[in-house]
Copies of this chain bind each other. A is one copy, B any other.
Amino acid sequence: MTSRINLFDREIGRLNDVLCAINLLGWDARTQMPAGAARMRGAQVATLTGLARGIATGRAIRDAIAMELDGLDDRPESALRRRALLDTQAAIRIADRIPESLVVEAAALKTEAQQVWAEARTKSDFALFQPLLERTVLIQREIAAAIGYAAHPYDALIQQYEPGMTLAELQSLFARLKAGLLPLIDTALGRPQPRLDVLERSYPVDAQKRFALEIAQKFGYDLKRGRLDVTVHPFEVSFTREDVRITGRFRENWLPGGLFAIWHEAGHGIYEQGVDPAFTRSAFATDIINLYAVGGASFGMHESQSRLFENRVGRSHRFWELHYGALQTNFPASLGDIDMETFWRAVNVVRPSFIRVEADELTYDFHVILRVEIEAALIAGDIAVKDLPRIWAEKVKTYLGLTVPDDTQGVLQDVHWSAGMIGSFPTYTIGNVMGAQLFATARKAPEVAAGLQSGDYLPLTRWLNHHVHRHGRSKTPGEILRFATGSGLDPAPYLEDLSEKVALLA
């Protein structure tokens, strides 16, 4: 009975099953689980990760790939299959290069480092975290060396999150962004500041959720194949195309924190729901390098979808012309006396700040740029971990003009390094840039443009489904971008959008 099942499909299916179970263990830990159970949950994730790695690098899947490639013909219908086999083989080779001992060491360190980081952040004491980060950097250097690279060791780490991207390409991208963004920031800061007190009034959480979900569904997020839960740090997670969950966090006295985070996560969710259902449980919904069940092509491409719905749509002037009335209806006491223009200006405030996740659109990428510069220098050995608080402060001064008051609001603010994720920060800016490219191209389609004018976002989502989502991981982010926009990574549309916005804010 089982012998009829293709061996490669069987092994990838089993791997995807285990990875989906890991996704569930994580989702549950962050949304449902009693807090006391965290330690045992860590053991469960570690065991399943070990089993997943065992399947991903096991003899069965290697043999299946080799055997099937051997017999594969050259017809065009076989191209997709060949791609699945070759991509998986390439990913296994990368996983192979990282010795098991290093994987185990990194996993063990992560558990410890996250605890110490959380404590250090609470106490605003980088020295506590320093030895853990030093070990993390050493391990990540070893991983970079094991994976291999042509120009810079940081390239090897970026590959894990954004295939095809290099530090050199990032540096050229960042140079263009700096040149384009700095004058925009100067212009914006020269104007009167909007009324932010408007956003700090009383916004009952249930009404926030209701309004945010209504819009998310207009964007195309399908609640029948998803759900919304409350968490501390919002995220999206997918299991199959039929089960893609988002999370949010709501504060009664800070309206944007709830709304825009939901639309951000809904953008991720729309991507996962839009992957070709035929790719479910296949190589094209399985990230072997990160041992992660996901349909999106890369971290950057994923972020392009979340930022597109959050910012290109959700912070646009037209969007609030269409929906501000509904928002007022939901919060008559707090918004009855506020006009749309005042509200729109408030949610588009430009204001250099210390915390990346709270940054506005114009200053956000500088938070990314400074982290990437630090990461690359750390991995190359050009700077030492112990000097990070000083280096961080210098860069924040240079790029944002601010004086960092303490480590909590500085070098300790992000969870990424404690999780061993060095090389993932670039994907936030890549997402901003690609999101704007895709949006600019999509808007050229008349039905998309008409929908954005009338408040019907499904033509936009269908365009994204066709050009981006459905491909899953069967194309690289570069291929998808070229298929969708006809060009490579290009910050021009992003800078144009922001420039238009600054002009509107005049």
B-contacting residues of A (Cβ < 8 Å)?
Answer: 1-2, 13-14, 17-18, 20-21, 24-25, 28, 32-34, 36-37, 40-41, 43-44, 46-48, 50-51, 104, 108, 224-227, 239-240, 242-243, 280-281
Contact = CB atoms under 8 A, between A and B. Distances in A.
A51 B18 contact: yes
A13 B47 contact: yes
A484 B18 CA distance: 42
22 contacts: A13-B47, A14-B47, A17-B47, A18-B44, A18-B48, A20-B40, A21-B25, A21-B44, A24-B28, A32-B227, A34-B224, A34-B225, A34-B226, A36-B224, A36-B243, A37-B225, A37-B240, A37-B242, A37-B243, A40-B280, A41-B239, A44-B239
Given A18-B51, A227-B32, A40 B240 contact: yes
Given A32-B32, A37-B242, 15 more contacts: A13-B43, A14-B47, A17-B46, A18-B47, A21-B44, A24-B28, A34-B225, A34-B242, A34-B243, A36-B224, A36-B242, A37-B243, A40-B240, A41-B239, A51-B51
A168 B280 CA distance: 50
Contacts of A20: 40, 44
Chain A interface secondary structure, helix, strand, loop or mixed? helix
A285 to B, nearest CB: 10
A18 B281 CA distance: 19
Which 5 A-B pairs have CB atoms at the shortest separation, nearest pair first? A37-B243, A17-B47, A36-B242, A40-B240, A37-B242
Given A25-B24, A37-B240, A104 B2 contact: yes
A480 to B, nearest CB: 25
Contacts of A2: 104
Given A34-B242, A51-B51, A43 B281 contact: yes
Given A14-B47, A32-B32, A48-B21, A243 B40 contact: yes
A32 B20 CA distance: 15
A240 B281 CA distance: 29
B108 A227 contact: no
A346 B386 CA distance: 73
A48 B17 CA distance: 8
Contact of A44 (B17, B46, B51, B104): B17
Contact of A1 (B24, B37, B108): B108
Given A34-B242, A227-B32, A281 B25 contact: no
A51 B15 CA distance: 11
A18 B47 CA distance: 7
Contacts of A43: 13, 17, 281
A186 B224 CA distance: 51
Contact of A21 (B13, B21, B225): B21
B281 A243 contact: no
A137 to B, nearest CB: 20
